[in-house]
Amino acid sequence: MKLGILINEGPFTHQASDSAYQFATAALKKGHEIIRVFFYHDGVYNSTKFADPPSDDRNLVQQWSKMAEEHGVELIVCVAAAMRRGINDDALAPGFQISGLGQLIEAGIEADRLVTFGD
């Protein structure tokens, strides 16, 4: 099954980012394809290389980057949401790229399911 994922919450404010990552990890282990993860609204904070959580806490930004590298998962950050929050290309962690809402629409068309995490 081809899956698209939409994340609307930041990595340290709600459970949505953790749940999305765990869902994506489980889906990949089951042999499903994640065609794209789209970060929207505060979800764009999942993409910044400037996140520096304590060493005893999970680092979702690094985890997403590793998933992109190992599985070829596209990590797309909404350009408008990123700009509103001061995130540009220079702030992105490896594996993330900035693009427009058309990428979200395309994921919805190409995927068998588009799963949303967060409000």
Catalytic residue among 5, 67, 68, 78: 78
Torsion region of 118: left, alpha or beta (phi above 0 gives left; psi -120 to 50 gives alpha)? left
Three-state DSSP class for residue 78: strand
Identify whether 78 is a catalytic site residue. Answer: yes
Question: Which residues lie closer than 8 Å to 58 by C-beta, 6 or more apart?
Answer: 18
Q: Which CA distances in Å does 17 have to 37, 38, 117?
A: 11, 12, 7
Helix (H) or strand (E) holding 17: helix 16-29
- Catalytic site residues? 78
